[in-house]
Amino acid sequence: MRLEKCWFCSSTIYPGHGIQFVRNDATIFRFCRSKCHKNFKMKRNPRKVKWTKAYRRLHGKDMTQDSTFEFERKRNRPERYDRNLAENTLKAIKKIDKIRVDREAKHHALRMKGKRAKEQKEATKELEQSIHMVKAPAALQEEPSLTLPKIKVQVLKPQTENHLMEE
């Protein structure tokens, strides 16, 4: 049993899934589901299709080089079964997966860094430029404090209540 990678989207193909297409020059294309297969038949380039791993790696959205990828390289020599080896491999797979996920999260965080500052800058700029769509310019000139979104109002409620009570 071998877990293959889909030619189009690079996801793993588990046993019992997918279609294998063999071209006459003996190149084998494996697809994980009919979505990838149909895209292939439409002659779409996976490097241009946004949701594939190929696109994401090419455009720097996902990690490209990492030592954790070395463990998943294809090995063609079958290993003799050794129970200890199998047990250790299973444990290692879990750990390597965790490390890989952590590193991907870090990569994503690094990619998204500076987004909050950028959004804040854009918001303040928009406020400066387009406040006239919300408040009339005449009103803004009268009270410059109106340009700020927060306005503090003193509540005079207890004195009025006393008045009513007196009457």
Partner 1 sequence: MSRVASTWSTVGRSLMGSIGNHSSGLLRTSHDIMTRLGCSNFFSQQQRTFIQMRTNLKVVDNSGAKRVMCIQALKGKKGARLGDTIIASVKEAQPRGKVKKGEVVYGVVVRAAMQRGRCDGSEIKFDDNAVVLVNKQGEPIGTRVFGPVPHELRKKKHVKILTLAEHIA
Structure tokens at 133: 């769509």
Under DSSP, the state recorded for 10 is: -
Interface with partner 1, residue 19, by CB under 8 A: yes
Interface with partner 1, residue 16, by CB under 8 A: yes
Interface with partner 1, residue 49, by CB under 8 A: no
Question: How many C-beta atoms surround the C-beta of residue 140 within 10 A?
Answer: 15
Q: Kindly tell me which residue out of 3, 27, 117, 137 binds partner 1, with binding defined by CB under 8 A.
A: 27
Among the listed residues 9, 117, 107, the one whose alpha carbon sits nearest the alpha carbon of residue 61: 107
For residues 46 and 37, is the Cβ–Cβ distance under 8 A? no
Interface with partner 1, residue 25, by CB under 8 A: yes
Interface with partner 1, residue 99, by CB under 8 A: no
Q: Kindly tell me which residue out of 12, 35, 45, 105 binds partner 1, with binding defined by CB under 8 A.
A: 45
Q: Kindly tell me which residue out of 5, 10, 33, 44 binds partner 1, with binding defined by CB under 8 A.
A: 44
Question: How many C-beta atoms surround the C-beta of residue 6 within 10 A?
Answer: 23
Residues that bind partner 1 (CB under 8 A): 1, 13, 15-28, 38, 41-45, 47
